[in-house]
């Protein structure tokens, strides 16, 4: 909703129609009608994301190891999110290609 930065100094000053100025700034979100929410998936959904990303990269044979590693990776790297899943898959793929262990820590 707040696409433009608003400072406390914006609320003071000599603007005659202060409320109109604020409403104009907020109306940008109303014009486009979009609301974007970012939620963290639960464990099952997170592991489903990991599974799909692994499948896309042809890493199905390593999936049991990757599911255990992905949960540990998420704990260390900021929680479960699609971005964390992508980062884990990239790290795991590199380790697999180099013949290294999938232990994330």
Rounded-to-integer distance, Cα 90 and Cα 63, Å: 14
Residue 105 lies in a domain: no
Residue 22 lies in a domain: yes
Does one domain contain both 82 and 56? yes
Q: 8 with 49: CB under 8 angstroms?
A: no
The pLDDT of residue 104 is above 90: no
Q: Return the residue matching tokens 């990776």.
A: 73
**Total domains present in the chain:** 2
The pLDDT of residue 5 is above 80: no
Rounded-to-integer distance, Cα 18 and Cα 15, Å: 5
pLDDT of residue 61: 92
Does one domain contain both 70 and 91? yes
Mean pLDDT lowest among 26-35, 54-63, 74-83, 91-100: 26-35
Does one domain contain both 24 and 51? no
Global confidence as pTM: 0.63
Domain assignment of residue 12, given as a range: 1-37
Does one domain contain both 29 and 69? no
Tokens coding 99: 């013949």
Residue 50 lies in a domain: yes
In sequence order, what are the residues at sequence separation of 6 or more whose Cβ sits closer than 8 angstroms to the Cβ of residue 71?
A: 43, 46, 47
Does one domain contain both 48 and 67? yes
Helix (H, G, I), strand (E, B) or coil at 76: helix
pLDDT digit string, tens, across residues 30-72: 777 666 677 789 999 999 999 999 999 999 999 998 988 999 9
Residue 59 lies in a domain: yes
Does one domain contain both 48 and 32? no
Does one domain contain both 20 and 51? no
Residue 104 lies in a domain: no
């Amino acid at each position: 909703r707040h696409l433009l930065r608003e400072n406390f100094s914006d609320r003071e000053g000599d603007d005659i129609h202060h409320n109109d100025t604020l409403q104009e700034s907020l109306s940008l979100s109303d014009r486009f009608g979009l609301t974007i929410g970012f939620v963290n998936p639960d464990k099952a959904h997170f592991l489903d994301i990991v599974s799909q990303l692994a499948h896309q990269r042809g890493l199905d044979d390593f999936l049991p190891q990757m599911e255990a590693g992905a949960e540990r990776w998420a704990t260390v790297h900021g929680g479960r999110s699609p971005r964390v899943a992508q980062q884990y898959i990239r790290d795991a793929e590199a380790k697999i290609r180099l013949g290294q262990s999938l232990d994330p820590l």
